[in-house]
Structure 1
Amino acid sequence: MDNIIHILNGDSTLPILEQSGIKGDVVVWREMLCEGRLSIDFASDEFWNNRYTYFETEIGVKRLDYFDKTIKEILKLKDLSDYNEVVLWFEFDLFCQINLLAACTYLLDNYVKKANYYLVCTGKEKGKEGLQSLSNYSPKDFKKLYANKSPLSKANLMFAKGCWNVYVENDFEKLKAYNFNQSAKFEYLELAINQHLKLFPGTNGLNHIENKILEIINSSALAENEIIRALLIWQSTETVYGFGDLQYFQYLKKLNKYYKIEDSKYYLNNFGKTILIFDENK
């Protein structure tokens, strides 16, 4: 019997996989590489130091906690010589696609010739409206997803690493010009990168998400959790960011010079209104 290891996009996928009865060891990818400072050499000392700093200063996660929950999991992928099959489980959105590029880069850097590599990436599905996340599937469905997994060649992993290098450089013009649609194996990558391009500052100095937050605050008097809920609804219908509550809380917090809080409700101040009008007139 083949020795199998599954690389999951997050903790929410784990119980579904476990209930599916699909055999194999599991690594849960808990990074969110679409946010914070990066370096091209994935898993290098410089890389982890950048991530330590980001999580500690921006998110409030202690270094030891980050190491235990995130780095220790990823480092399990450094030596896969005991495995014949490596299966990546990811989704269509920006959050997942960047993590997928990093995972492929790390797998290529530690390539095992005897292993077969596969990708399960959810998104479009015939007969279903909208793009599908892994959480939309039942344990029984997971068996079908696994049966239809797509093989990844070494050339596919090399393509992913090339895309990772361009992404980490984070140059708007280079990202815009690069052909992220070269490989059918990564069919949602171009869509995700186009979404990422909206995170560069616009005409008023704010990006797509920041302007949306000001727009939501301006539309109605809302409490913090209501603003986050509105952002998640907007995200699910109009974007492919794939962000969680935590990321949107961070965005909201950093915009504090544009709003005031009265009786737990958020309101734009004069500066915020001016900035928002400037964006609307772009």
Structure 2
Amino acid sequence: MDNILHVVNGDSTAKILKESNIQGDILVWHEMLCEGPLDKEVGSDTFWMNRYNFFKNEFNVERLEYFDKTIKKIVQLEDLEGVNEVVLWFEYDLFCQINLLATCSYLLKNYRKDVTYSLVCVGYEKGKDKLQTLSDYTSEEYPKLLENKIKITKANLEFTDKCWEVYVKNNKEELQNYKFKNPKFWYLPKAIEQHLKRFPLENGLNEIQNKILQIIQANSFSEKEIVRELLLWQNAETVYGFGDLQYFNYLKKLSDYYQVKDEIYSLNKLGKSKI
């Protein structure tokens, strides 16, 4: 009997996968590598220290919690003894695509000839008005997704490893010029295009920061209402794929540009000068 390891993009996917009764163990990739300091060598001491410090400083996540939820799970990919196939379950957005690059880079570092590597990556679907996430499918539909999986070769892993290296460098010119196109990773170029919009514009702020100031200027919103509006904008016009915690953090870091009275945000003089 095949021993399959499913590496999934989050808890919601893991839940649906369990309900589908698809054979195999499930490993949840609990990271958000589209944010914070990185290191080319996924799984190295420097990599983990960078990530721990980021989560501690930005989200007050303690070392033990990060170890239990993230490191303890991910390092299982270093030893695939007895595993016949690794299936990666990810989505089209920037959040998932960067995690996917890191996962593939890590798998290459620990590559085994006796393991088959496969990818289930959702997004465009004929007849659907919007891009699909893994949460848009029912447990009854997951076997069909698995049936349409894409085989990932060592050469494919080497491609993602180079893409990961370019992303970690985060040089705008190199990101613009590098050829991220690959038929196995169809959504990657669009995700990188989205990432490039996080570089500062002429006013010193990036697309997300400018959008936050625009929302504050146009409305009388509380913190939660601003983040709700950001999520609506994200889903309609971007492929960031961020969670609400990331947007709460973006808003907090823009405190020099607004004031809050009775929980309602408004731009100050500096904020208005950026619009």
- Count of matched residue positions in the alignment of Structure 1 and Structure 2: 275
Q: Say if 2:91 is the partner of 1:91.
A: yes
SS in 2 for 1:266: strand
Aligned twin of 2:78: 78
The alpha carbon displacement at 1:64 in A equals 1.1
> Which residue is 1:152 aligned to?
152
Structure 2: distance between partners of 1:213 and 1:118: 38
> Gaps (5+ residues) in structure 1?
277-282
- Which residue number in structure 1 is paired with residue 123 of structure 2? 123
Separation in structure 2 between the aligned mates of residue 176 and residue 80 of structure 1, nearest angstrom: 36
Alignment of 1:188-207 (within 5 A): 188-207=187-206
Aligned to 2:264: 265
Structure 2 counterpart of 1:54: 54
Alignment of 1:217-228 (within 5 A): 217-228=216-227
4+ residue segments displaced more than 4 Å: none
**What does the per-residue CA deviation read over 1:47-94, in whole Å, with 9 as the maximum and x for residues that have no partner?**
111111101111111111111101111011110121111100000000
> Matched residue of 2:266: which SS?
strand
Pairwise CA RMSD: 0.6
Q: Tell me the TM-score normalised to structure 2 length.
A: 0.99
Unaligned runs of 5+ in 2: none
Residue number in structure 1 paired with 2:240: 241
Deviation, structure 1 residue 15: 1.0
Using the TM superposition, give the Cα deviation of residue 45 of structure 1 relative to its aligned residue in structure 2, in angstroms.
0.5
In the TM superposition, what whole-angstrom CA distance separates every residue of 1:79-113 from its partner, at most 9, and x where no partner exists? Answer: 01211111000000000000000000011100111
Shift of 1:12: 1.1
SS at match of 1:90: strand
Residue 178 of structure 1 aligns with which residue?
178
Structure 1 position 15 matched with structure 2 position 5: no
Alpha-carbon separation, structure 1, partners of 2:155 and 2:82 = 22
Q: Which amino acid aligns with 2:111?
A: Y
What letter corresponds to residue 134 of structure 2 in structure 1?
Answer: L
Give the Å deviation of 1:220.
Answer: 0.7
